[in-house]
Structure 1
Amino acid sequence: MEYDEPLFFRVMQYAARADRDVVDMVSGNPDWDAPPALREGLSEYADAPGEAFQYSPSEGLRELREEVGERRNVDAAQVVVTNGTAEANYLGMARAMERDAGDEVILTDPVYPYYPGKTSMLGGEARYVAVDDRGRLDADDVREAASEDTACILVNSPNNPTGAVYGPETIRELVAVAEENDALLVSDEVYDHFDYSGRFESALTVDSDRRIVTGGFSKSMAITGFRVGYAILPHGLVDAAKTRHMLVNIAASRPAQRAVLHALRETPAEYYEETRDVLRERIRTFT
């Protein structure tokens, strides 16, 4: 199967060959430090006995899944720990596509460039719904674009690249559109810590077996290299996602999971507020 290389790969290659300083507006790498508790967790793990260096359970460490479940108010059995949020999105899209309920994936325009690539890789067809000039997505436009060929509706809020936040009514309507068309909504919420509008609403607030929520710690803890994310799935979709995850990755990194778990338990709220303040000041500068 052939699929397109993301365009920004080429942009990064141009930048690497440049003979002058280049401002990187592509990579989503936070430029602040990780929580001190994360380093503590890694240090403690380095002294663990040898058996602690082996595979973790494929679906993720039980303690980490329980921590995520408690924070997101879901059953830990619905949580699959993944190799970053990127894999969580892949698992959600794959589950949507393998149900033989269509081959179309609805994406927003503009779009995070990995989404179309995943769509092609899974044998799907991307259908784009344009947002307005402030990045707002009209759920009625999604409803108009959806059909019996729609397998998946993939959105992320707060949005990359526009920064828009989809409010409660939009999220409820997107879930409804998925239900009306025998599709799955995959809601990528990796930027949930960075809502400056007060409007963010998780798709988890909508009770439905047609929505999958993904998230992770790359942005909130400034640890993009650790690759620890998660998918939260309806009970009926968990087993298939766990099987695909096991076949693709076997398991996520055990030391990374342990360090993240320690950081979740020990990091004070002030750390997150300070990082939010950094971005808040940059938003003011740009706007």
Structure 2
Amino acid sequence: MEYETPLFFRVIEYASRADRDVIDMVSGKPDWEPPSAVRDGLSEYATHPSDAFQYPPSEGLFELREEIARRRGVDTEHVVVTNGAAEANYLAMACALERDRGDEILLTDPVYPYYPGKTTMLGGTQSFVPTDATGQLDPAAVRAAASDETAAIVVNSPNNPTGAVYPAETIHSLVAIAEEYDAILISDEVYDRYDLSGEFESALAAKSNHRVVTNAFSKSMAITGFRVGYAIFPPKLAASAKSRHMLVNVTASRPAQYAALNALRETDPEYYDGNRALLRERVETFTDALEAAGASYTTPMGSFYVMARFEEYPGTLENVFRLIDEAGVAGMPGEAFGDSRAAWVRFALVTPRVEAAAERLAAFFE
């Protein structure tokens, strides 16, 4: 089985070799400060006795799992702490496929590229359900695509790359479809703290044994390098997920889990409110400049990405390389996210140089 190097790495590598200053709008790495309690937790951990530097429980520190469970209204035994949301999604997809209920994974188009890659790695087959122009997913289209071969339906809200936020009726309908076909709805909610619409609904609101919710502290606490995520499994999948997690990773970082737990307990809501306010300002600044440049664009209702379409400039890898060389702005080619957005380029608003990037793009396309 052959795997392609993800386009993210190819773009980042190309930008790093550029002969000019390049504004990085490729990766979803928040540029703002983590909660102060993260640093406090790390400092405190350094003073712990030596046994605290050994393996933690494989499924995660009990106190962290307990805190997550309390906040999410679930049983602690259903929570598995993972190496970021990436592993959480891998575990969820693997558990869905190993039930011998078919090998099809239903994905959206556009799609976060790692979902198709994981599907291939796990021996599943991919099918895609188109979203509308705003990134919204029609449950009727999902139902029409589902079959007895459907093992899982994978969705992401708030969405990367479109910024769509699925309303409650969509989420509950998707859970119902999963139940109808004995499939697993996998709801990746890693951007839940960046809901700008007020309409976000977690799949946990639907009480069901046919849904898995994945998340991480990577984005919400601006600690992508800590690799602390989690998945909430229904009882019938939790034991299998824990076994696979142990075989693949053994466990996640103990100090990072401790710091995340400290931040969960000590961080006020104002921290998250401030980051959303900053993001709203950046969305307005960037989209205003795109409009002045005559570009089409998406206005995100959540997450921190804007997709832009420039006339007669499709979102190919070659054109993204040209933007790096000639405009000094690095984005992601739309073709990385599926056929429906191949004409677009995705930009991550996680840089204080958003206004400068917009000005460079406007000058390039004038």
TM-score by length of 1: 0.98
Q: How does 1:19-34 map to 2 (within 5 A)?
A: 19-34=19-34
Tell whether the 8 Å contact from 1:190 to 1:219 is kept in structure 2 after alignment. yes
Give the Cα separation in 2 of the matches to 1:248 and 1:53: 20
Deviation at 1:53, TM superposition (A): 0.3
Letter in 2 for 1:9: F
Count of paired positions: 287
Give the Cα separation in 2 of the matches to 1:102 and 1:5: 28
Residues 141-182 of structure 1, C-alpha deviations (whole Å, 9 max, x = no match): 111111111111000100011110001110011111111112
Paired position in structure 2 for 1:220: 220
Q: How does 1:128-277 map to 2 (within 5 A)?
A: 128-277=128-277
Letter in 2 for 1:225: G
User: RMSD of aligned C-alpha atoms?
Assistant: 1.0
SS in 2 for 1:81: strand
SS in 2 for 1:8: helix
Paired position in structure 2 for 1:38: 38
Q: Does 1:48 align with 2:54?
A: no
SS in 2 for 1:221: coil
Give the Cα separation in 1 of the matches to 2:14 and 2:141: 36
Deviation at 1:21, TM superposition (A): 2.2
Give the Cα separation in 1 of the matches to 2:20 and 2:100: 50
| Percent identity for Structure 1 against Structure 2 | 68
Which protein is bigger by CA-based radius of gyration?
A: 2
Give the Cα separation in 2 of the matches to 1:243 and 1:26: 34
Gaps of 5+ in 2: 288-366
Letter in 2 for 1:55: Y
Paired position in structure 1 for 2:98: 98
Tell whether the 8 Å contact from 1:148 to 1:181 is kept in structure 2 after alignment. yes
Letter in 2 for 1:175: V
Deviation at 1:13, TM superposition (A): 2.1
Tell whether the 8 Å contact from 1:2 to 1:121 is kept in structure 2 after alignment. no
Letter in 1 for 2:265: R
Q: Which range moves more in the overlay, 238-247 or 9-18? A: 9-18
User: Which 4+ stretches in 1 moved above 6 angstroms?
Assistant: none
Give the Cα separation in 2 of the matches to 1:113 and 1:143: 23
Letter in 1 for 2:79: V
Paired position in structure 2 for 1:286: 286
Gaps of 5+ in 1: none
Letter in 1 for 2:151: A
Residues 108-160 of structure 1, C-alpha deviations (whole Å, 9 max, x = no match): 11111111110110011111111111111111111111111111100010001
Deviation at 1:3, TM superposition (A): 2.8
Deviation at 1:2, TM superposition (A): 2.2
Residues 20-66 of structure 1, C-alpha deviations (whole Å, 9 max, x = no match): 22232221100001111110000000010000000000000010001
SS in 2 for 1:152: strand
